[in-house]
Amino acid sequence: MARTRRPLIAGNWKMNGLEADALTLARAVAAGVKEAGWNDRELLVCPPATLVAAVAHAVKGSGLLVGGQNCHAKASGAHTGDVSAEMLKDAGASHVIVGHSERRADCGETDAIVRAKAEAAWRAGLLPIVCIGETLTQREAGETLEVLETQLKGSVPAGATAANLVVAYEPVWAIGTGKTPTVGEVAAAHAHIRKVLGGLTSEAAAVRLLYGGSVKGSNAAELLAAGDVDGALVGGASLVAAEFLAIAKAA
């Protein structure tokens, strides 16, 4: 891992957590961050929108970052049930996940929609984590690299830099299944992503690339040691403080 790229371990809580349990989890992670005194890596938790403000308040000053799981492309308006990037920023968020495969599949989000959301994040002063990844059908058809390239080119806005973009590679078939690609497959995917980024930004070598998909304490060290892997986007394991901190320690 290049020393110039500071590892980022991000926890996506998805649609999990009521306030009492969420604050207990957030405080436990924050305590772990404070105790470890890490200044060579960043930890981020992305709770449901209803909890962003409460979690941000609870962990303030600990060094633990807080983000949103999604945002609307517009700053405000008649968009019932949606949350703008500005609202997330106002609630205490510093990051936002955009284009997660569950949003792409369940909500029909296209690359163009993801791109607009990433631009919205910039507008609000948030750092977008742009997610890309292939399905099992696409992988078995040998289309992985092609799919990643298409999604990347369509989802990353013009003007991307190492300071305003994080990319997360999440093979759809590995999310929540317990299955993971081999370290070699992860390294190959990340190398290709970095190569494609070279055509989108002059700072491609410094953009952080996260791996996501059944990351846990037991496999984190191996996955994070793969070439061009600069951190992890963690799902289920981020709901257990000790497990999430173990992944962070592996970084």
* pLDDT tens by residue, 138-147: 999 999 999 9
Q: What is the pLDDT of residue 177?
A: 86
What span, in angstroms and rounded, lies between the C-alpha atoms of 231 and 247?
A: 9
What pLDDT score does 3 carry?
A: 47
Domain 26-70+81-250 -> CATH class: alpha beta
Which pLDDT does position 8 carry in this prediction?
A: 98
Tell me which of 42, 72, 86, 100 is the catalytic residue: 100
Q: Is 192 a catalytic residue?
A: no
E strand residue ranges, the chain: 8-12, 42-46, 65-68, 95-98, 127-132, 166-169, 208-212, 231-234
Whole-number pLDDT of residue 180: 83
**HSE-up (13 A, CA, CB side) for residue 70:** 20
Give the model's pLDDT for residue 1.
Answer: 38
The ranges assigned to domains in the chain are 26-70+81-250
Of the candidates 42, 86, 109, 170, the residue annotated as catalytic is 170
Here the tokens at position 240 are 């257990």
Q: Which residue stretches of the chain have pLDDT < 70?
A: 1-3
Annotated binding site for substrate: 12-14, 176, 214, 235-236
- At residue 142, φ and ψ (nearest 5 deg) are 75, 25
Catalytic-residue membership of 134: no
